[in-house]
Amino acid sequence: QITLKESGPTLVKPTQTLTLTCTFSGFSLRSREVGVGWIRQPPGKALEWLALIYWDGEEQYSPSLKSRLTMSKDTSKNQVVLTMTNMDPVDTATYFCAHELYDIMTGFNSFDIWGPGTMVTVSS
């Protein structure tokens, strides 16, 4: 059974750096075609994809946030870490991490299992 859980601060000040950790179980980031993504949802707004890291170390970032985002993975701890610099009140959101499924039979990718999310508020 695949599970993921996000952890990190609930409150950060403007200009600070946010560090979120996604701890997962039921799969390994050493396995081919496996990815972990980050998605956020500001209050009352839609889902927004932020970043994705693959088993082979490939990283993809949202172009609008690329300059502020960095991901890393620790396969021995089954964790993925996302850092976002220069936080602003508009970054207030629930942040989700999710397992990306690559369906070998069909060739399609999708976020099949999500963590419960962690709410981050940016305020002085």
Partner 1 sequence: EIVLTQSPATMSLSPGERATLSCRASQSVSTFLAWYQHKPGQAPRLLIFGASKRATGIPARFSGSGSGTVFTLTISSLEPDDFAIYYCQQRSNWPITFGQGTRLDIK
Indicate the residue among 12 and 97 with the shorter CB distance to partner 1.
97
CB of 76 vs partner 1, minimal distance in Å: 25
CB of 57 vs partner 1, minimal distance in Å: 16
Residue ranges binding partner 1 (CB under 8 A): 37, 39, 46-49, 52, 60-63, 96, 98, 101, 103, 106, 108-117
The region that residue 60 occupies, defined by phi over 0 for left and psi between -120 and 50 for alpha, beta otherwise, is beta
Per the CB < 8 A criterion, the answer to whether 34 and 99 are in contact is: yes
Indicate the residue among 15 and 47 with the shorter CB distance to partner 1.
47
CB of 94 vs partner 1, minimal distance in Å: 9
Indicate the residue among 16 and 100 with the shorter CB distance to partner 1.
100
Name the percent of the chain in helix, strand, coil, to the closest 5.
5, 55, 40
CB of 29 vs partner 1, minimal distance in Å: 18
* C-alpha 40: how far from chain center: 8
Q: Give the C-alpha separation, 53 to 59, whole Å.
A: 5
Indicate the residue among 46 and 90 with the shorter CB distance to partner 1.
46
Q: 10 in helix, strand or coil?
A: coil
